[in-house]
Structure 1
Amino acid sequence: IMNIDHLCKCVFTNRGTVCTYVDCMGDTFAVGPDGGIYPCYRFVGMPEYVMGNVHDNPGKEDLAESEAWKLMFRFRDYVDRECKDCSYIRHCRGGCPYNAIAPTNGRIEGVDPHCRAYKRIFKEINDRAAREWETTAVPPFGAAPTGKASIMSLMFKRL
């Protein structure tokens, strides 16, 4: 249910709420067992995605010089270009960079391969929310939902 909850929050807030659906480059890092710094935990153990090492005490500027950092920003720029007309760009930002880049050995050939599924899910959430909004009284913000669980109750639920 947590994943559905987060997807509903993406629609309600009109922005990603988990790392799969945000521009996490530069804001999220992972450290491997050897001290290697990666753009995300999913890249840990892949030498081509090491941005630095904690033992070297690098600054953000040092990490930004790495090829892995630059690749993540090229992916973001690709998403900005290729997804600019997508209704859901603010919800998903092209999906997970790992899902898009790792299978192609670091080449940017598309967005997250789950894009079509994400779009279907976001559309369904939008459609259900619109129907519920028209037919259901919305409880005051923070109030406990009453009755049957709904998309709107997930949207108003605190993370």
Structure 2
Amino acid sequence: MSEVLRNLYLVVAQECNLACTYCYAAGGGFGQAERHMPEAIMRRGLERLLPLAGERLTLSFFGGEPLLNFPLLEETVRHASRLAAESGRGLSFALTTNGTLLDEAMLDFIERHIAYLAISLDGDAVANSGRVFRDGRPAFPVILDNLEQLRQRRIPFALRATVTPANVGQVVGTVAFLSTLGAQSVRVLPAQGVHWSVVERQQLSRVMVELNRRGLRALLAGETSTACEHALRLAVHTVAGEDAERPCLAGGGILALAADGMLYPCEHFVGVDELAMGHVDDYPDARSRRIVARFAAATTAGRPRCQACAVRGVCGGQCYAEASLANGNIELPAADYCGRIHATFRALAPDLAQGMADVEQAGRLRRAIGVE
């Protein structure tokens, strides 16, 4: 492997209780038969893959909706904790959920074991209207009630909002609304695998620029910033001098174990036969090594569209899964993504230059990104 394993996604339930209109995972099954991960697969996966980790590993529960297989989460924590203790590795657990199934037992489990909890919520009742139960009922009121349970227990959580052509006009208001719900962080991501018209793509570009400008100004003012991933990237690159060479560690530092025991470069590639890395019983083999090497080579220096890009060190390149959905090729970022990134960084550059010229603002920004 080109990287020690840092984050192992366990796709414990390839099934979901929601029927979101834009789901990239085809209703949670990733284009395969709905299934839950058996305990035997979980145990085999951990026993084979934990030795490939470095000093610390994050186990991330994912789906579908992972809480549909809640007993396996409990057993995973017990088994993984034993294995980690025996090997001397540090271990933490993360959970991504739609937030509709939280009962007392699950809340107790999260409070005791989950270091990072991400909940999907696209905004207020209107912005979130694409997230519905299978019988058509809106998920919004249930999620809102469960967020209150988390706040009462003081369980930290992050919110992830998906921007779709239907709610793109509400994005700025969506972030403002989500920021009132007590989340540690808010992330906004465009829906993948859905049709965006030219006008909708232009609107998406404008709102992402606006969010990042607001975020950068908040950082310079020493205020809480949110939903400004690209502003943070620009600050880290410009102030800390760090170049981003790839969007993530998929295929090496990140792996995903599907419910049937097949391995993939990350959780977004489950069901993509071209990038299936074989069964965990056989890992690593010749096929998996080829895929690992392919991802290791797909840096900004190795992706043709990135090679001559002026902002490649800031951007790091489009998410491999997004590029694959757009073009069927992890090496080829989508043209509209590149245009949106360039527009964002062009808009941020004057604000950043002005802020860095002010001693107090520059100091606040350095502290915000951990340079001072």
> How does the TM-score come out when normalised to structure 2?
0.32
Higher strand share: 2
CA distance in 2, matches of 1:138, 1:62: 51
Which residue type is aligned with residue 289 of structure 2? A
Gaps of 5+ in 1: 146-151
Residue 233 of structure 2 corresponds to which residue in structure 1?
A: 10
Match of 2:269 among 37, 40, 43: 43
Q: How big is the shift at 1:116? A: 1.0
CA distance in 1, matches of 2:248, 2:330: 20
Which residue type is aligned with residue 90 of structure 1? G
CA distance in 2, matches of 1:31, 1:8: 32
CA distance in 1, matches of 2:362, 2:311: 27
Q: How big is the shift at 1:51? A: 0.9
Q: How big is the shift at 1:41? A: 1.2
Residue 149 of structure 1 corresponds to which residue in structure 2?
A: none
Gaps of 5+ in 2: 1-185, 189-226, 238-242
Match of 2:368 among 133, 141, 156: 156
CA distance in 2, matches of 1:86, 1:116: 11
CA distance in 1, matches of 2:298, 2:272: 18
1:101 partner SS: helix
Q: What per-residue deviation string (whole Å, max 9, x for no partner) do you get for residues 8-64 of structure 1?
A: 2311222349x8x346442221121112111121111222211122233x1387621
Match of 1:28 among 248, 254, 261: 254
The answer to whether residue 348 in structure 2 is matched with residue 125 in structure 1 is: yes
The answer to whether residue 288 in structure 2 is matched with residue 63 in structure 1 is: yes
Q: What per-residue deviation string (whole Å, max 9, x for no partner) do you get for residues 83-130 of structure 1?
A: 23322111223211222223433485x323411111222232332111
> Which has the larger Rg?
2
Number of residues paired by the alignment?
Answer: 140
1:83 partner SS: helix
Residue 112 of structure 1 corresponds to which residue in structure 2?
A: 334
Which residue type is aligned with residue 352 of structure 2? A
Residue 148 of structure 1 corresponds to which residue in structure 2?
A: none
Change (3 A) 1:50 1:112: same
Which residue type is aligned with residue 59 of structure 1? P
The answer to whether residue 360 in structure 2 is matched with residue 137 in structure 1 is: yes
Q: Which has the higher contact order (CA 8 A, sep 6+)?
A: 1
1:121 partner SS: helix
Q: How many percent identity over aligned positions?
A: 17
The question of whether the paired residues in 2 share the 8 Å contact of 1:30 and 1:37 is answered with: yes
Change (3 A) 1:120 1:22: farther
Residue 52 of structure 1 corresponds to which residue in structure 2?
A: 278
Which residue type is aligned with residue 105 of structure 1? G
Q: What per-residue deviation string (whole Å, max 9, x for no partner) do you get for residues 115-148 of structure 1?
A: 11112222323321111122452375xxxx5xxx
Higher helix share: 1
Question: In terms of mean alpha carbon deviation, does 85-94 or 21-30 score higher?
Answer: 21-30
> How does the TM-score come out when normalised to structure 1?
0.66
Which residue type is aligned with residue 268 of structure 2? R
